[in-house]
């Protein structure tokens, strides 16, 4: 149908067909795959669900080990397409941060019996709109036994996810878990730290959750963390009591990096950590951080995930 833009000028709207899109994608992908057959970086390309279907069926895609689809327009419908693709069976790293995922797709792949990405080692699905329930479904899934690094930060993961982590028995290789800017609090953390998964983690990011003094005490006193080296607790809500619990912890003695800035402890709490007699292996200790104003570091599109400075406002 013609669209009149003023005067007698007429412009035709044309939505390319699936076949036309396929041909264009093949032109785009061929030189990229020739240059680097094992890695395909397609972030920020306005990729939609149809594009995902085309990419999965493109010539040469079966050699790709690292696929970056971050910052696109991919929604839940595309997840089964990706995870059930025979052509992506050798994929080891998949990046899907900053897309339009809301949850059903994650639940679908968690329950699917057709998953082909059994070699997946790294999965990043941060900064979407994933619900607590769907992230918990994923954690309970048996489909990803070889996963070593999981980033579900900047979503709505909360106490149900934490409970699922406490029950998890199928992530035997998981070493890095990122839950930054989530909604985990005392109730969920109590169940999370009971799980065997905590003894195999080497890096845990709980920055910008809802952890107050009692929650940090639970974390610091849990008889876990045998492999933990990096712990991030910045931008939570704990004060001197929580800081003292960290400084006195005999469970966290393997830590080499601890980030605890932008919390509510003062000099007393800071001193307890800095002069700790148990955290003697620390190579990096961050007790104070500035307020970031860089737009690239603040998720203005999700203001509800930004922790206010007033602890009584949450």
Domain ranges of the chain: 37-313
Confidence at 20, pLDDT banded by 50, 70, 90: confident
**Is 301's pLDDT higher than 90?**
no
What's the number of CA atoms in the CB half-sphere (13 Å) around residue 4? 3
Percent of the chain beyond pLDDT 70? 88
pTM of the predicted structure, to 2 decimals: 0.88
Pairing mode, strands 66-68 and 149-151: unpaired
Pairing mode, strands 122-124 and 149-151: parallel
Name the 3-class secondary structure at 46.
Answer: coil
pLDDT digits (tens, 9 = 90+) for 189-218: 999 999 999 999 999 999 999 999 999 999
**CATH number of the domain at 37-313, please?**
3.80.10.10
CA distances from 290 to 4, 233, 235, 273, 286 (A): 54, 15, 11, 19, 11
Please name the residue ranges forming H helices in the chain: 18-35, 49-56, 78-83, 104-111, 132-139, 159-167, 186-192, 213-221, 240-247, 267-274
**Is 308's pLDDT higher than 50?**
no
Tell me how far apart the alpha carbons of residues 156 and 141 are, in angstroms, rounded to a whole number: 18
pLDDT digits (tens, 9 = 90+) for 23-49: 899 999 999 999 999 999 999 999 999
pLDDT digits (tens, 9 = 90+) for 231-248: 999 999 999 999 999 999
């Amino acid at each position: 149908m013609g669209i009149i833009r003023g005067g007698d000028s007429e412009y035709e709207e044309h939505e390319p067909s699936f076949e036309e899109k396929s041909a264009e994608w093949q032109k785009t992908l061929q030189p990229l795959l020739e240059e680097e057959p094992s890695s395909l970086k397609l972030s920020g390309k306005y990729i939609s669900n149809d594009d995902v279907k085309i990419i999965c069926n493109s010539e040469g895609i079966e050699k790709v080990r690292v696929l970056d689809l971050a910052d696109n327009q991919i929604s839940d419908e595309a997840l089964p397409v990706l995870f059930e693709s025979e052509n992506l069976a050798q994929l080891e790293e998949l990046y899907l941060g900053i897309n339009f995922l809301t949850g059903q797709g994650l639940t679908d792949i968690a329950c699917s019996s057709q998953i082909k990405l059994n070699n997946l080692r790294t999965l990043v699905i941060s900064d979407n709109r994933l619900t607590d329930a769907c992230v918990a479904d994923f954690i309970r899934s048996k489909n990803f036994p070889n996963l070593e690094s999981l980033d579900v930060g900047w979503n709505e993961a909360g106490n149900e996810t934490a409970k699922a982590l406490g029950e998890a028995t199928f992530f035997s290789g998981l070493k890095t878990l990122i839950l930054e800017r989530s909604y985990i609090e005392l109730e969920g953390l109590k169940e999370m730290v009971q799980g065997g998964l905590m003894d195999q983690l080497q890096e845990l990011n709980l920055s910008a959750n809802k952890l107050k003094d009692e929650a940090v005490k639970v974390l610091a006193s849990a008889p876990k963390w045998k492999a933990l080296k990096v712990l991030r607790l910045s931008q939570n809500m704990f004060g001197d009591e929580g800081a003292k619990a960290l400084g006195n912890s005999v469970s966290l003695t393997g830590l080499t990096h601890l980030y605890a800035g932008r919390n509510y402890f003062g000099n007393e709490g800071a001193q307890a950590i800095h002069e700790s007699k148990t955290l003697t292996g620390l190579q990096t200790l961050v007790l104070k951080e500035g307020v970031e104003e860089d737009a690239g570091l603040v998720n203005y599109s999700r203001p509800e995930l930004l922790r206010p400075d007033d602890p009584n406002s949450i």
